[in-house]
A and B are shown apart, each in its own frame.
Chain A
Amino acid sequence: MSMAQSVGLAHADETLPGPLLRVSDLNVSFTTERGTVRAVQGVDFSLRAGESLALLGESGSGKSVTGKTILGLTGSQGARVRGEIVFDGDNLVGWDEDRLNRVRGTDIAMVFQDSLDSLNPVFSVGAQITETLRVRGGLSREDARARALTLLRQVGIPDAEQRLGDYPYQFSGGMRQRICIAIAIALKPRLLIADEPTTALDVTVQAGILDLIRSLQQETGMALIFVTHDLSVARRVADTVAVMYSGRIVETGAIRELFRHPAHPYTEALLRSHPAAARHWEELAPIGGSAPDRADQVSGCRFHPRCPIARPECAESEPALLDIRPGHPSRCFFAEEVLNGTY
């Protein structure tokens, strides 16, 4: 795909029947002084064009590593990646930097948690957006400037014309994150990966960013992977959710349905421990213990030491991710019971 083409070509794949992204048996491990850390194990999921998926998990779940690995950003830390990441027919695993760079920005783009770190402090905001457009998009200076202006307006920066020449530090956190989003969508990627983009922002500003991402996604038909630990954020921005625990996906499904009727003990416990679920602190239902060290092996199901309904089978073998209802797989031997609340 030539550079000029990739800027204009946005929706060509909507007619394809297959998924835009299919991740199969993804395994990512790091070697550390203490041994091998298996950050992601056997992760499978797929995404169609225009779909939005939330990767939901607490710290240590592997959600962030998964998101970054799709773009091949974990190589510098000594990661070993196995499995398949098939984007539009091509398996990205094993690609070298040059090949990956052609995909980055034009087909798959990413927004990170820290907008201040993502932007170059010595260049104006306008310069950073137009740089992308001119170098990767092949636009002329005038066209790039016009498009940059459009983008800034699109992401909701007031007085965009005046602010093109401003520097990152002159914007508030929420505004900066909007600029990062503008840069990310500049080349009309088909997939946007957002890694906790609102976690560092004030609560009153978060909602605006989430709504922006949602509406941009719906306008452009872009697929979205949203990595987060926050249940309510996931609910606001995604259609489907994949709940991750200790490097594995434990449940996937349509988000509102899943939150109302979880089919995995971890998901249920997570929902119940949320402050919004209680009226008084005495009602809070925490999950006992803590997540296992990812350098350790746990026999059987990774969650069983903390699971309220653990049975002897759970320590012996690890359950597979099986559909409990169509389109709603769960990694638990007793998913049916959890779903029906009969345990």
Chain B
Amino acid sequence: MARIENTIATAPGDEPVLRVDDLHMHFKGRHGSQVRAVDGVSIEVRRGETLAIVGESGSGKSTLARALMRLIDPTSGRVYFHGQDLLALRKGQVRELRRNIQMIFQDPYASLHPLQTTSEIVTEPWRIHRGVVPRADFSRRVAELLSQVGLPQAYASMPPARLSGGERQRIAIARAIGLSPEVLVLDEPVSALDVSIQAQVIKLLMRLQQELQMAYVFISHDLALVRLIADHVVVMYRGRIVEQGTAEEVYSRPAHPYTQALLAAAPSLEEEDEDAIDEKATDPVLLDRGPSVDISVGCRFRDRCWRREARCDTDDPRLVRHEGVDHDAACHFAGEVARSGILNNGAGPARVTMTTTEGGAR
């Protein structure tokens, strides 16, 4: 079997670095039922680009992330890294693969070993994959990494126990980029952090992406945040993609009722935003239900959807390009939903921004 190689990049944006083809992840649930955590998802991401996977609990986004990294084995489907099928690899080759695809986890308090020092944590990848960095270079490389992620050198010998969430996440980032991976899968990397620290870490991540030209698979439920960093957006609901497109397309003309609900719920600090929200899209009685309907038949969002019709009970909408919509959506009435401009009267992404101080944005 061919070795995975750290291929020299072709021109950025040509071919996807990572491509997922019809991935399914089914678990055995209670009473012999089947839980379809990921139900036919296809995505791709290119060098230097950020693909955001947006969804809430139960959407399957975290399961998808783990399947990508082969931390769990998918039930069916394919994952291609530079055209090579990852799922056909043997265990030893999967280990090799780990050098190229790395992950940042959500909880910085849980993802670092409680008893190791920062230096031990950061050098872990080089100990596991011997030969990539010679032992003698360890401390020099650690110093470089620490400075790259903006941490003081003194932290190297400290255990992270005393550090804040933001600092820990930086350590996790330093650990992840230590092997210069081509793809970084980030599972809600800043959700557990304070808002002011989120901004720090996001800026760091994006700068690193520019420097190292990594492809990012950025998983989040925070649409306000995703808007700042994503090139492409994929919205997931109960295992399926319900809408996908460039960030511009999805934010300015959402074509699925769930996306609209998400956008409406995104943090906003301006009064106009609240008044502009059409009650229909955000009816809490509908939304509060939580996913409960049987998904084996019909549209899986129907019990929480304002646009529901009889057709939705039996006909599972496919992810296609609808008339009048410039990107894919899985809704029978996508065209109408997009046109309804429920959120912004077609005014574009400007809706979710704000200036807070009279002194003006700096």
Q: Report whether A268 and B265 are in contact in the complex, using a CB–CB cutoff of 8 Å.
A: no
Mark A47-79 against chain B: 1 for CB-CB distance below 8 A, else 0: 000000000001100000000000000000000
Knowing A208-B288, A278-B353, the reply to whether A290 touches B268 (Cβ < 8 A) is no
Knowing A202-B221, A281-B203, A290-B164, the reply to whether A259 touches B269 (Cβ < 8 A) is yes
Closest 8 CB pairs between A and B? A208-B284, A172-B290, A341-B359, A286-B199, A58-B194, A232-B267, A286-B200, A202-B56
**In the bound complex, what is the Cα–Cα distance between A285 and B361 (angstroms)?**
10
Q: Would you list which residues of chain A between 274 and 301 have a CB under 8 Å from chain B? A: 274-288, 290-291, 293
**In the bound complex, what is the Cα–Cα distance between A231 and B269 (angstroms)?**
8
In the complex, which residues of chain A have a beta carbon less than 8 angstroms from the beta carbon of B167? 290
Which of B60-68, B171-179, B222-230, B315-323 has 4 or more CB atoms under 8 Å from chain A? Answer: B222-230
The answer, yes or no, to whether A211 is at the interface (CB within 8 Å) is yes
**In the bound complex, what is the Cα–Cα distance between A170 and B278 (angstroms)?**
31
The answer, yes or no, to whether B183 is at the interface (CB within 8 Å) is no
**In the bound complex, what is the Cα–Cα distance between A280 and B50 (angstroms)?**
13
Question: What bracket does the count of chain A residues touching chain B fall in?
Answer: 35 or more
Q: Report whether B194 and A59 are in contact in the complex, using a CB–CB cutoff of 8 Å.
A: yes
Name B288's contact: one of A58, A172, A275, A290 (CB within 8 Å). Answer: A172
B: residues with CB less than 8 A from A are 56-57, 162, 164-167, 194-200, 202-203, 206, 221-225, 227-229, 258, 261-262, 264-271, 274, 282, 284-285, 287-292, 349, 352-362
Give me 9 A-to-B residue pairs in the complex whose CB atoms sit less than 8 angstroms apart, sorted by A's number.
A172-B288, A203-B223, A212-B284, A259-B269, A272-B356, A272-B361, A274-B267, A277-B269, A290-B166
Q: Report whether B285 and A208 are in contact in the complex, using a CB–CB cutoff of 8 Å.
A: yes
Name A202's contact: one of B57, B166, B198, B268 (CB within 8 Å). Answer: B57
Closest CB in chain A relative to B151 CB, distance in Å: 11
| Tally of A-B Cβ pairs under 8 angstroms | 172
Q: Report whether A173 and B269 are in contact in the complex, using a CB–CB cutoff of 8 Å.
A: no
In the complex, which residues of chain A have a beta carbon less than 8 angstroms from the beta carbon of B197? 58, 286-287, 290
The answer, yes or no, to whether A206 is at the interface (CB within 8 Å) is yes
Query: Apart from A204-B258, A275-B225, A287-B199, what 9 extra A-B contacts exist at CB < 8 Å?
Result: A172-B289, A173-B57, A174-B288, A178-B288, A207-B264, A231-B269, A236-B274, A261-B358, A278-B353
Name A280's contact: one of B165, B228, B357 (CB within 8 Å). Answer: B228
Q: Report whether A283 and B361 are in contact in the complex, using a CB–CB cutoff of 8 Å.
A: yes
Counting chain A CB atoms within 10 Å of each CB, the highest count among B167, B225, B285, B290 belongs to B290
Knowing A208-B285, A208-B287, A287-B196, the reply to whether A203 touches B271 (Cβ < 8 A) is no
In the complex, which residues of chain A have a beta carbon less than 8 angstroms from the beta carbon of B267? 230-233, 274-276
In the complex, which residues of chain A have a beta carbon less than 8 angstroms from the beta carbon of B354? 276-277
Knowing A208-B284, A268-B357, A278-B228, the reply to whether A203 touches B202 (Cβ < 8 A) is no
Closest CB in chain B relative to A254 CB, distance in Å: 13
Q: Report whether A205 and B269 are in contact in the complex, using a CB–CB cutoff of 8 Å.
A: no
Q: Report whether B288 and A231 are in contact in the complex, using a CB–CB cutoff of 8 Å.
A: no
Mark A206-242 against chain B: 1 for CB-CB distance below 8 A, else 0: 1111011000000000000000011111011000000
The answer, yes or no, to whether A103 is at the interface (CB within 8 Å) is no
Q: Report whether B199 and A203 are in contact in the complex, using a CB–CB cutoff of 8 Å.
A: no
The answer, yes or no, to whether A124 is at the interface (CB within 8 Å) is no
In the complex, which residues of chain A have a beta carbon less than 8 angstroms from the beta carbon of B198? 273, 275, 286
